[in-house]
Amino acid sequence: MIVCPCVKCANVKWKNREVVLEHLICGGILQGYDYWFFHGECVPSSSNTVGAFTTSSSSTYLNQGVNSTPNAMGELLCDAFNMHEVVHDDVQCNTSEFNNLHDKGETHDGVSYEQPPLDAAKFYKLLEDMNEKTFMMDPSIRAATIPTNSHESKKVIKDLGLGYEKIHACPNDCMLYCADREAQEACHVCGSSRWLSIDSDQSIDDDIEVVRKRPAKVLRYFPLIPRLQRIFMSSRTANDMTWHADGRTNDGRLRHPADAEAWKTFDARFPDFASDPRNIRLGLSSDGFNPFKVLSTSYSTWPVVLIPYNSPPWVGMKQSSFLLSMIIPGDKGPGNDIDIYLQPLIKELKQLWVGVQTYDASRRKNFQLRAALLWTINDFPAYANLSGWSTKGKFACPCCAAQTSSRWLSNGQKFCYMGHRQWLDHEHPYRFQKHLFDGTVELRGAPSSTTGSEILSMLNDAHYTYGKRMKQSLKKSKSDSDSRKRHRQVSNVEVDSDMEEIEEESHEAELWKKRSIFFDLPYWEHNLLRHNLDVMHIEKNVSENIIATLLNVEGKSKDNLKSILDLVDMGIRRELHPEYLPNGRTRLPPASFSMTTKEKDMFCQFLKNIKVPDAYSSNISRCVNQKERKLQSLKSHDHHILLHDLLPIALRSSLTKRVTCAISEFCNIFKILCGKVLTIEELDKVHHEAIIALCDLEKIFPPSFFTIMVHLVIHLPLQAKLGGPVHYRWMYPIERFLLKLKSYVRNKRYPEGSIAEGYLAEECVIFCSRYLDDVQTIFDKPARNLREGHDEYPAGSYLFHSGGEPIGKFEIAELDDMSWAQAHRYVLLHHDAIETYQIEYKNILRHQMRGRRSNARDIDLQFTKTFHEWLGETVSRGRIVNDEVRILAQGPNKITKRYKGFIINGFRFHTKSRERLRRTQNSGCIVTSSTMSYASASDGNPLEGNLDYYGVLNDIIELDYFNKHKIVLFRCDWADVSSSRGIKKDMAE
């Protein structure tokens, strides 16, 4: 099928080649269509004829009714193969693939197949996995033309994909066989063969003359430049790439990385890059996972994912916008040798820093596309692999670097990271309370951060040898040489002070395991935030530390005999030192955070009975083991919920106020940091609160409690100031994306190949689904709790347009007189059409009560009680009003419908009776209402303000105004917020 260029069809209608020939003979060709760019011909940009034509026929073709399938097909192919009306010579357009894709849909057994890519996309995973909902049969197309299975659909749409490269690698991660080393047969570093060896006992048929060699290791690399170009070549995505400059709210608050200091400083340093908002800022993330879903199998595959930050968060942070850059094969993780595999990406990033010619479909012209990598996002072990700084041992903190304050615990046989008093003011009393902390007076200042330029200058002369085998041989030779060394006593040797400084500088350089390959990028050393601390994993580790220590979980608690002996060695907290009894036994005094058996039972019972709103979290009660008094099988998001909301509440009745307040303040830091909107002032305050909270915890918990993950909390507010809100820089979306990649594994013998092919097919389908306006795809899939309204009632039948929808069946009920009056009153007092009558009746009441000793409060009470009666009588006496007022004044029918659930504005509500046997609670309501406040009964000048009212939903009724209007009302029991009876202050306040 091709578009017909005759005068009648005007390059809009798709016809067979024979029909097109007939149309051209009978009607003639469209005037001005000299360059057949709709049929694959590349058009010189200097052609004036083309420019005149594209303003008419081309715009008609591309823009006329995007819902029509032929136009969507043409728009898709033009975007995919760069067949636009203005194409420069240096921007390639693939005419062969363009025509080939149409040829696939010419005929099949004599049946026309008009839209091969779009129809194939309809049958392949537009939403999630293949199911009945996505497998829809179009009645307009005969079955013979439809792909019979998912594999056939992949074959049709694969030409829309961008593909990937297979690059052979050394099995010991020493090198890649690419560029000038592509023809080598063995690794030039370790000498390992490029190919897998064939077993000697493997039988080979005599007829087979050539045995195909299999590479020992294959990196699958997905080129970045064509994928970024496609974003702009597509008319459906090009506009989003300037949202950070055009659509972002700029009011000084941190809502997006573009609001933060790192982005702004980068723009100020490179104004030529910042001058074009289409230039792309990227984030990089990598993590290993087991593709086999079998924990007993030791296998680690490492995908590298790129995140474009130009687009709005509801677009850019979705999986459909993530770019898979490469798949690093297993079976072991690359470790510090990951730089070997990042070489192709770094090469492209260098090229993108200079710029590549790209067509912008939103502006219909070419431009020089540039891109820059802002930072990386990883868990803490991967942080070390990408940055080159070791995240273990004495100097494990990458932010404090060589100034990390740590102490070796001889009994616990590990390092602890205390010393948070360094960040306090120099005159703060905590600095001098040595008996409450580590037994020393703290006189040091806060550690200073090391800039990228300083790191680069330290590592310029550093040499790192890549490869697993080489490192093993180096370790063996080092251990042998150490065993042959003669140990000398150096305690009395005097060292010159200048030599000490030189040794200190060289010592700091030795702490780096390697010079990161990211420093090859010309701008990397100037980035303020090069590597992010992952809040997701920090929350998980901190939560595990707190819960295991409080519940004294064996093997995980930080309060044990070894930690007590460490207190003895440090000479602090003598009240916790072991007591040796006369009978030879040793007693360990309980700490202030220790729970009794009863308190542990109360803590576990609280979490067992907790009910949270629908879709708020998983069912945490299933993770509570009441018999052993511990929590198990908690996921990262479960720890997130515990820290933010549940833990401070659960500890109220189990611990003292001092301990509860300290933990609550520590948990509140995470809750503020994870907010969607932040301010610089708020982050400065949170940073100070984090310092105080960590110092308070140092006075309560033993030193072994302060692992490196607990210490990293003190750096999170500063990173939020530099990088913006946390949800752009944590691992949650990446982990979900990796889970999706894991689902692509079909052939367990070739997991990386399965992932690559699955991602490539998904990439094509995502691209196609952007053009399917008449099919539900991932881009227009409604949210779970977003409903349009009743299907049984016509539009406009509801008096208040809410877009809600009831859940389940209804019951017929009759309202008593009081309930009817309350419901009727509420409707009248909140409808705009009745506002004039409200003012009129208030004036009447003021006139009637003029001679009495009445005030504004009495008038308001009388008005609320009697307005519905007055309006009904006024209308019934024959006053001329419109139909809507007459219906409302008449009042609703006392026979109503009752529901037990309702969905509205994206929220799900259940009545108290419905959720009685459920594990979720959705009966809570909060309403902000404008309320008149009276100081006393005689107050003539009340104050009006907004108050928050909290209640429990008991009933959902649907009022029927005699088949004219319908209104859904919630009936709640409200807490008394106007006095101390309904509000109780928390002990931590």
Written as one string, the DSSP assignment of 799-847 is: SS----EE-S--EEEE--HHHHHHHHHHHHHT-GGGHHHHHHHHHHHHH
**197/352: higher pLDDT:** 352
pLDDT beyond 80 at 75: no
| Contact between residue 133 and residue 20 where contact means Cβ atoms under 8 Å apart | no
Report the distance separating Cα 886 and Cα 879, nearest Å.
9
Least confident range of 198-212, 265-279, 423-437: 198-212
Residue 944, CA distances (Å) to 29, 855, 930, 978, 979 in order: 74, 16, 7, 14, 17
> What is the H or E stretch that residue 415 is in?
strand 414-416
Return d(Cα 550, Cα 878) in angstroms, integer.
74
- Give me 108's structure tokens: 């099949």
Residue that the structure tokens 């260098």 belong to: 350
Q: What is the pLDDT of residue 589?
A: 92
DSSP H or E run through 373: strand 371-378
Reported as a pLDDT band with limits 50, 70 and 90, residue 221 is very high
Residue 91 has pLDDT above 60, yes or no: no
Return d(Cα 221, Cα 302) in angstroms, integer. 12
Q: Are 909 and 983 in contact (CB under 8 A)?
A: no
Q: Which residues pair with 304 in a beta bridge?
A: 286, 326
- Dihedral sign (CA 889, 890, 894, 898): negative
Please report the pLDDT score of residue 98 as a whole number: 46
Give the largest Cα separation in the chain, rounded: 120
* CA dist., res. 933 & res. 408, Å (int): 61
CA 98 → CA 6, 57, 104, 147, distances in Å?
Answer: 20, 20, 11, 20
Q: What is the pLDDT of residue 981?
A: 65
Question: Mean per-residue pLDDT for 46-68?
Answer: 39
So what's the pLDDT on residue 803?
65
Q: Which of 250-264, 460-474, 767-781 has the lowest mean pLDDT?
A: 460-474
Give the separation between CA 791 and CA 794, rounded to whole angstroms: 7
Q: Residue 648 pLDDT more than 90?
A: yes
Tell me the CA distances in angstroms from 493 to 488, 490, 736, one per residue in order: 11, 5, 57
How do beta strands 371-378 and 414-416 pair? unpaired
184 or 154: which leads in pLDDT: 184
Residue 488 clears pLDDT 60, i.e. is over it: no
Distance CA 362, CA 63 (A): 12
Residue 255 predicted with pLDDT over 80 = yes
Over residues 737-758, the mean pLDDT reads 93
Question: Alpha-carbon distance 36 to 59, whole Å?
Answer: 15
Phi then psi for residue 569, to 5 deg, are -65, -35
Helix intervals (H) in 355-496: 380-387, 452-459, 468-484
Average pLDDT in the 512-538 region? 96
Mean pLDDT score, 341-351 = 97
pLDDT at 857: 77
Task: Work out the average pLDDT over 46-63.
Answer: 39
Q: What is the pLDDT of residue 70?
A: 47
Task: Name every residue whose Cβ is closer than 8 Å to that of residue 499 and which is 6 or more positions away in sequence.
Answer: none
What proportion of the chain, given as a percentage, has pLDDT over 70?
78
Residue 714 has pLDDT above 50, yes or no: yes
Per residue in 158-187, pLDDT (tens digit) is 566 678 999 999 999 999 999 889 999 999
d(CA 158, CA 168): 24
Range 453-482 average pLDDT: 72
**Range with lowest mean pLDDT among 415-424, 478-487, 686-695, 925-934:** 478-487
Q: Do residues 374 and 309 touch, judged by C-beta distance below 8 A?
A: yes
**What is the structure's pLDDT at 470?**
61
Query: If DSSP codes are grouped into helix, strand and coil, which group holds residue 232?
Result: helix
Tell me phi and psi for residue 391, to 5 degrees: -95, 30
Give per-residue pLDDT as tens, 897-950.
999 999 988 889 999 999 988 989 999 999 888 877 776 666 667 777 788 889
Say what the pLDDT of residue 464 is.
84
Confidence tier at 49 by pLDDT (50, 70, 90): very low
pLDDT of 471: 60
Cα–Cα separations (whole angstroms), residue 715 to 56, 397, 667, 906: 58, 10, 15, 36
- Residue 778 banded pLDDT, cuts 50, 70, 90: confident
So what's the pLDDT on residue 57?
40
Residue 987 has pLDDT above 90, yes or no: no
Q: Output the six-digit token pair for 545.
A: 């530390």
- The confidence score (pLDDT) of residue 508 equals 72
Bigger pLDDT: 959 vs 135:
959
- Going by C-alpha positions, the residue among 836, 844, 835 that lies closest to residue 862 is 844
Predicted confidence (pLDDT) at residue 107 exceeds the cutoff of 80: no
Contact 299, 331 (CB under 8 A): yes
Mean pLDDT, the chain, integer: 83
Closest of 246, 271, 255 to residue 314, by C-alpha: 255
Is residue 685 scored above 80 in pLDDT?
Answer: yes
Size of the chain, expressed as the number of residues it contains: 989
- Window from 104-113, 161-170, 536-545 with minimum mean pLDDT: 104-113
Model confidence band, residue 67 (pLDDT cutoffs 50, 70, 90): very low
* Residue keyed to tokens 């190949």: 753
User: pTM higher than 0.85, yes or no?
Assistant: no
Window from 417-426, 712-721, 827-836 with minimum mean pLDDT: 827-836
Res. 147 pLDDT band, cuts 50 70 90:
low
Residue 579 has pLDDT above 60, yes or no: yes
SS3 per-residue string spanning 678-703: ECHHHHHHHHHHHHHHHHHHHCCCCH
Q: How many helices (H) and strands (E) does the chain have?
A: 32, 27
Mean pLDDT across 727-739: 96
Give me the pLDDT at residue 26, please. 85
**Calpha distance 304→286 (Å, rounded):** 5
* pLDDT given at position 51: 38
Helix (H) or strand (E) holding 407: strand 407-409
For residue range 869-887, list pLDDT tens digits in order.
999 999 888 888 888 889 8
Type of residue found at 654? S
